[in-house]
Structure 1
Amino acid sequence: MKALGLIGVVCATYARAFSIQEHFEGNPPSLMNQLYDEILQPHDGKSMSSQALKSYHLAEDEEPLFKEMCSFYEEHRYEYPDDSFLSDIQLFSGIVTFAHVPIARCFEHLGSKKAPQYDIAIVGAPFDTSVSYRPGARFGPNSIRQGSRRLGKGILPVRGFPGSKLRKLDPYNSGYKIVDCGDVPMTPFDNRIALNQLYRGQRAIHNHSTVKEDLKAPKVITLGGDHTVTLMALKSAYEHHGQMAVIHFDSHIDTWDPKVLGGGITKRQSINHGTFLHFAHEWGYIKDDKSMHVGIRAPFLDPSDEQHDQDCGFEKIVARDFDIYGFKEIVRQIKERVGDLPVYLTIDIDVLDISVAPGTGTPEPGGLTARELLTVLDGLEGLNIVGADVVEVLPAFDSNGEITSIVAAQVIDSILGLMTVQ
C-alpha cells in the first residue's frame, strides 16, 4: 500500500510539473529538456542547443519529492558515448545479419575491385520445394538471422569439454573474417533451376580468396532451406577439398534410394530432402565408410533401407543411444569414424525433439535436447570442419517464442567455434 501511495504521489507530482514553466525566468525550455536535456543533445563535442539547461530552477514552494527527483538528475549527470554508436548495444540496430557480422558482396565477379576477402561465409538458401511433408523452410534463413540477434561477441563458458580451448574462445574475434553473404537467389518454380542457382552461388563464395593464408578456400555455413540444399553445398565444397566425411545430425537417414522415396516417375522427383545423401555418395562427394548419422529415430520406409544406408557409406548413432552411451562415447565413435578427413557438418533441426524445435518440416518425437546437441557439437573440437549447414527451420510452425530459430542460431554459433578454435 505504501508503494502504491508513493506511485500516486509521483504521478500527481508529474501531473503538476507541467506548471513548472511559470517558475522560470525569460523563455524556459520544456520540462522534458529540464529533466533529460542530455538525451536530447548530440554528444560529439559540437555546440549544444542554446536551450540547454545548466541547472534546475524550482519554486520554493514546490513539493519536496519533486525537488529531490530534480536534484538527483542534476547531481548525477549521465556520461553518454559519442555519436558513433560503436559501444552501444547492437541487438536491434542496422540490417539483420547473422550475429551482426558484416555484409559482403560474395556474388561479386572475382575480377571486380569490389570482390571481398573472407574466411567464413554465412549464406541463406531459401528453398523448400523438395519436401515430403511441410513446406515453409524458404523462410528459415531470415528466421535464423532473427534468432541470432543476441550473438556476436563474448566468451561462452560452457563451450567444449572441461579444459577445452573453446571455453576461452570468442569466434567473432578470433582472427577469422566472418561475413554474411545474404541469400542466394533461388526460383520457387523449378527445382532444377533453383538447385543450379544454389550451386553457382556456393561456387562463387568458395572461389573468393581468404584473409588467412592457410585456408584452401573459405568455409561456408548455409542456412536452409529444406535439406536438399546440402547436396549443392557438398558439390561445391568437394571441388576444393575432395572427398569428405559427413556428420549428419537428423531424425531421418536421408540416404533413401530414389526409387523408394520420390523416384520412379520422373528423374526430377528423385532429388529431394530424403535422397540427397544417396546422390552425394553416388556422385563421389563422400568417402566410403567414413560418414555418420547422429540422432536417427524415424522409421525406415522399406526393409532394404538399412543396407542401402550402409552402402552409401554411413553408420548411425540413434537418438536413444544418448541415454545408453553418454556424450564422451558418442563423440569418440564419431571421431573414430571420420578420422582426419575434411568434415562437412549438416544439421537438420528436426534432430531435436519436437518440444525443443516445433518449427520444422518433418517433426519426430523422442529427439535430442538442445543441450545434448550443443554438447556433442562442442566435442567435435579438433576435426577439420570445412563446411556446414543448419536446415529445415520453418518459422510458420515455430512457437511464438521463436525457440526453433533461436536454437538454430545457437547451433551455428557452436559451429563457428569449431571452425575458429586453434
Structure 2
Amino acid sequence: MYQPKDSSLSPRFCGVRTFMRLEQITTTDNVDFVVAGVPFDTAASYRTGQRGGPQHIRNFSVLLRPYNPDQDINIFDYCSGVDYGDIDVIPGNIHRTYENIQNGLRPILEREITPVILGGDHSITLGNLRAFAEKYGPVALVLFDAHADTWDNYYGEKYMHGTPFRRAVEEGLIDVEHSIMVGMRGSLYGPNDMNETRELGFEVITMSEFRKIGLDEVMKRVHNRVGSHPAFISFDIDFVDPSFAPGTGTPEVCGATNVDAIECVRRLHGLNFKGFDLVEVLPPYDSGEVTAVMAANIAHEMITLIALKKQKEQEKVKKKDETITAAE
C-alpha cells in the first residue's frame, strides 16, 4: 500500500517534491491511482510556461492531507497511489509527444489504474484520449473550461491547445452523445464559434447559463448526459475565474469561484470515470501561488473521488458476503 509521507513526523520542506508527498515510483503494482505529469506547452497560442505546471502543482500539494473532511473519507484507507513522475515530452514536436503519452499511459490503463494527469497545455488531452479510447473505446467527455477547444486550426495548424476536441471527434475518440462541456465564456469571433461545438454533438453549458440555472442543475445535467458510460474528466484551470486562478495562459473574466469549482468536482461522484487531467497551470503568472493552491486541491478532490468509488465497491462486496453468510 503506497501512501504519503506523514508530515506530522517529517517536515514538508524535506525531501523531493512529489504530489501529496507520495512515493515517486514508476510502478503499476499494488496501486489504484497514479499522478503523472505531462509538461508540454509548445502548442499554446498566447502565453507559454505550462511546462512548469506539473511541478508547480506538486510543490504546493505537499500541504495536502489524506483525510477529506467534507467527503468524510481518508483516501488511503481505500486507495494506494504513487507519483508516477512525468511522461517524457518532445518540445516542439506534438506528434511524437502524443506517441509518448499513449505509450506512457498504456501500461497504466491495461491494469485499470486511474491516472490523474497534470499538464501542460490543453493539447495533451488529445494524446490522453487516444490512450483511453484504445482501452475503453470512445469515452464520454466531461470538460470544465472557459473555452470549448473545438477550433479547426490556429495559424493553419491543426494540433494546438485550442483544437484537441475537434480532432478527438474526427478520430472517433469521444462519445459525443454522452459528452458535455461546462463553463464556456469570453469573447468570440462570431456566433458560429459556439454553434459549431454544438453541431459536433456536444451539450454545452456556458458560464452565463451556469449562473442562471445554478450548480445543482448543472451537475444534474452532467450526470444525465454521461449516464453509466466510461468517462474522461478534463479540467482546464481557466474554468476558474482569474481572481482565484491567475496563473493560466488564456484567462477569461466571470469564471467559476473556487468554491463552485471544487463542488463541481465533488459532484462527479457516481460517474463511471476512468481518468482525469488538469491542464493550463502557468507558474510565471501565479501571484502568491493561488493557482497552485486551486489546482492541487482540485487534483486532491479527483483522488478523493477514486477513494469514494473504491469505498462503495468494498461496501458492496462486504454486503454480498454478509448476505451469503446469513443464508448459510
TM surpasses 0.5:
yes
- Write the letter of the residue equivalent to 2:139: M
CA distance in 1, matches of 2:138, 2:277: 17
CA distance in 1, matches of 2:150, 2:195: 10
Partner of 2:326: none
- Superposed, 1:129-140 pairs within 5 Å as 129-140=42-53
CA distance in 1, matches of 2:141, 2:77: 26
Instruction: Select the structure that is richer in helix.
Output: 2
Q: How far is the alpha carbon of 1:302 from its aligned partner? A: 4.3
- Write the letter of the residue equivalent to 2:49: G
- Please report the TM-score for the alignment, with normalisation by the length of structure 1: 0.69
Contact 2:94 2:159 (C-alpha < 8 Å) held by counterparts = no
- Write the letter of the residue equivalent to 1:287: D
Partner of 1:199: 102
CA distance in 2, matches of 1:318, 1:310: 12
- Write the letter of the residue equivalent to 2:81: I
Aligned CA distance change for structure 1 residues 392 and 175 (closer, same or farther; 3 Å)? same
Match of 1:174 among 77, 83, 88: 77
Deviations 1:69-108 (A, max 9, x none): xxxxxxxxxxxxxxx98850442222111011222224xx
Deviations 1:325-352 (A, max 9, x none): 2221111111111111111110100111
Partner of 2:139: 244
Residue segments in structure 1 that go unaligned for 5+ positions in a row: 1-83, 107-114, 158-166, 210-216, 264-268
CA distance in 1, matches of 2:200, 2:108: 28
Q: How far is the alpha carbon of 1:365 from its aligned partner? A: 0.8
Report SS of the residue matched to 1:386: strand
Partner of 1:185: 88
Contact 2:198 2:204 (C-alpha < 8 Å) held by counterparts = no
Residue segments in structure 2 that go unaligned for 5+ positions in a row: 313-328
Report SS of the residue matched to 2:106: helix
Aligned CA distance change for structure 1 residues 299 and 406 (closer, same or farther; 3 Å)? same
CA distance in 2, matches of 1:375, 1:307: 28
CA distance in 2, matches of 1:95, 1:346: 27
Deviations 1:368-418 (A, max 9, x none): 11101111211121111111011000001110x200011000000111111
Aligned CA distance change for structure 1 residues 339 and 86 (closer, same or farther; 3 Å)? closer
Percent of residue pairs bearing the same amino acid type = 35
Match of 1:402 among 270, 277, 289: 289
1:122 aligns with 2:68: no
- Superposed, 1:227-242 pairs within 5 Å as 227-242=122-137
Partner of 1:356: 244
Q: How far is the alpha carbon of 1:145 from its aligned partner? A: 0.3
- Superposed, 1:309-324 pairs within 5 Å as 309-324=197-212
Partner of 1:79: none
CA distance in 1, matches of 2:138, 2:64: 33
Contact 1:359 1:395 (C-alpha < 8 Å) held by counterparts = yes
CA distance in 1, matches of 2:130, 2:194: 25
Partner of 2:63: 150
- Write the letter of the residue equivalent to 2:224: E
Aligned CA distance change for structure 1 residues 418 and 86 (closer, same or farther; 3 Å)? closer
CA distance in 1, matches of 2:226, 2:155: 30
Deviations 1:163-194 (A, max 9, x none): xxxx22122x1322211111111121322222
Report SS of the residue matched to 1:345: strand
Contact 1:100 1:152 (C-alpha < 8 Å) held by counterparts = no
Aligned CA distance change for structure 1 residues 144 and 86 (closer, same or farther; 3 Å)? closer
Aligned CA distance change for structure 1 residues 169 and 262 (closer, same or farther; 3 Å)? farther
Match of 1:306 among 179, 194, 200: 194
CA distance in 1, matches of 2:92, 2:17: 27
- Please report the TM-score for the alignment, with normalisation by the length of structure 2: 0.88
Deviations 1:291-335 (A, max 9, x none): 111111023334432332123321111112333222211111111
Contact 2:51 2:119 (C-alpha < 8 Å) held by counterparts = yes
CA distance in 1, matches of 2:232, 2:88: 23
CA distance in 2, matches of 1:417, 1:340: 19
Report SS of the residue matched to 1:289: helix
CA distance in 1, matches of 2:68, 2:301: 12
Report SS of the residue matched to 1:186: coil
Match of 1:419 among 301, 306, 309: 306
Contact 2:31 2:82 (C-alpha < 8 Å) held by counterparts = yes
Contact 2:32 2:114 (C-alpha < 8 Å) held by counterparts = yes
Partner of 2:19: 98
CA distance in 2, matches of 1:408, 1:225: 13
Contact 1:222 1:389 (C-alpha < 8 Å) held by counterparts = yes
Partner of 1:226: 121
Report SS of the residue matched to 2:183: strand
Between the two proteins, the alignment pairs up a number of residues equal to: 305
Match of 1:141 among 54, 59, 69: 54
Report SS of the residue matched to 1:272: coil
